[in-house]
Structure 1
């Protein structure tokens, strides 16, 4: 019996499948198969093409070995001795333009958040309430208001004591001083009320910010 089975009319099926590295026994077998008259022209051409490759499909070598004569072909174990599997990395998946834009946006957002976290202790909060009398205009306005109130209190006290003690300049002056002190106390009370409102508003803003976080 000169051969195991009739040679196929065509080469191996589509797709390389498992790929192995070429060794001297495999190369010698491919060279002899490329000129073997018992093989079809397609198989001879396949063997000739594979003989110049460093990696060959196992399916093609198997088809050539099966179609070759048993008396001339090498043992299958010796043929694949020393050969190893060759694995190819899959082609990287291309990212869509929308995905690239989204990833870029997320990276920029992450950088902004990291920068904001880094400088949060040295930059003022945008949503924080302004401190009372923090500007020059507020301070000047409050100072003028205090002067006017104290002056008005002095005049009112002076006029009141003059009406009561018309012939006593000392009492008239004492009444003016009393009115001035009362005006100062009124301004102090107003300042305390404004400061309390600011503290209450600041506490509310801080509590809301913590809840949002």
Structure 2
């Protein structure tokens, strides 16, 4: 049986009728010292008594009048003191608070994942690698257009240098138009993906409200 009194040390036992009878007799026993008689009176009013002073009283009592130990401690039970709660360090408190905040944030994100916009939509040319690749692609396309136009005009106009150069420039301009057209298509597709990802949460939110 646990008790909240943590000031007691040593073995604690419950105060039974046989112990109370013994303590009552010891409190009025003139053969005992005043200290032991006062101790007996104090223990008599308690619901739990420590074993050490009770044992001292038993040994100091007259063997002819004191009860046997097995009869004295019959029906008794041990009383255990509750340990003092362990205090958490400030570092542990801060760590637990941080973990609690992370858990709450994850739980919130899991709760609203169907009604929040998707932030993973990639922006076109958002990285240096994409920009460099696009620039090289434009240069190669324009150079290819120039060569195609130059070769075509050279075959048509009988190796005229001026017309060959004009054909190359025309092919270069055509390649620029093609690349611009492809860039517009890619940008439109990216904007369409963004619009779809933004409209989808609203639909999900309205569906949730209807279900509620």
Give the Cα–Cα distance (whole angstroms) in 2 for the partners of residues 94 and 183 of structure 1. 73
Residues 95-150 of structure 1 show CA distances to partners (whole Å, capped at 9, x for unaligned) of: 34554444333212210121113323432344642369xxxxxxxxxxxxxxxxxx
Q: CA deviation at 1:17?
A: 0.7
Q: CA 1:51/1:183 → structure 2, altered by over 3 Å: closer, same or farther?
A: closer
Rg: which structure is higher?
1
Partner in structure 1 of residue 15 of structure 2: 22
The answer as to whether partners of 1:23 and 1:83 remain within 8 angstroms in 2 is yes
Aligned residues: 137
What secondary structure, in the 3-state scheme, does the structure 2 residue paired with 1:50 have? helix
Match of 2:25 among 27, 32, 55: 32
1:53 aligns with 2:46: yes
Give the Cα–Cα distance (whole angstroms) in 2 for the partners of residues 196 and 22 of structure 1. 86
Give the TM-score of the pair, scaled to structure 2. Answer: 0.54
1:76 aligns with 2:69: yes
Structure 2: gaps of 5 or more residues: 1-6, 126-173, 192-212
Q: CA deviation at 1:49?
A: 0.3
Give the Cα–Cα distance (whole angstroms) in 2 for the partners of residues 31 and 190 of structure 1. 104
Give the Cα–Cα distance (whole angstroms) in 1 for the partners of residues 15 and 27 of structure 2. 16
Partner in structure 2 of residue 109 of structure 1: 102
Q: CA 1:107/1:48 → structure 2, altered by over 3 Å: closer, same or farther?
A: same
What secondary structure, in the 3-state scheme, does the structure 1 residue paired with 2:13 have? strand
Partner in structure 2 of residue 189 of structure 1: 182
The answer as to whether partners of 1:30 and 1:48 remain within 8 angstroms in 2 is yes
Give the Cα–Cα distance (whole angstroms) in 2 for the partners of residues 49 and 40 of structure 1. 14
Q: CA 1:191/1:38 → structure 2, altered by over 3 Å: closer, same or farther?
A: same
Give the Cα–Cα distance (whole angstroms) in 2 for the partners of residues 91 and 97 of structure 1. 18
What secondary structure, in the 3-state scheme, does the structure 2 residue paired with 1:66 have? helix
> When you count helix as a share of all residues, which structure comes out higher?
2
Partner in structure 1 of residue 203 of structure 2: none
Structure with more relative contact order (C-alpha pairs < 8 Å, separation 6 or more): 2
Q: What's the C-alpha RMSD, in Å, of the aligned pairs? A: 3.4
Partner in structure 2 of residue 42 of structure 1: 35
The answer as to whether partners of 2:18 and 2:73 remain within 8 angstroms in 1 is yes
Q: CA deviation at 1:184?
A: 7.2
Give the Cα–Cα distance (whole angstroms) in 1 for the partners of residues 184 and 120 of structure 2. 24
Give the TM-score of the pair, scaled to structure 1. Answer: 0.53
Give the Cα–Cα distance (whole angstroms) in 2 for the partners of residues 95 and 19 of structure 1. 29
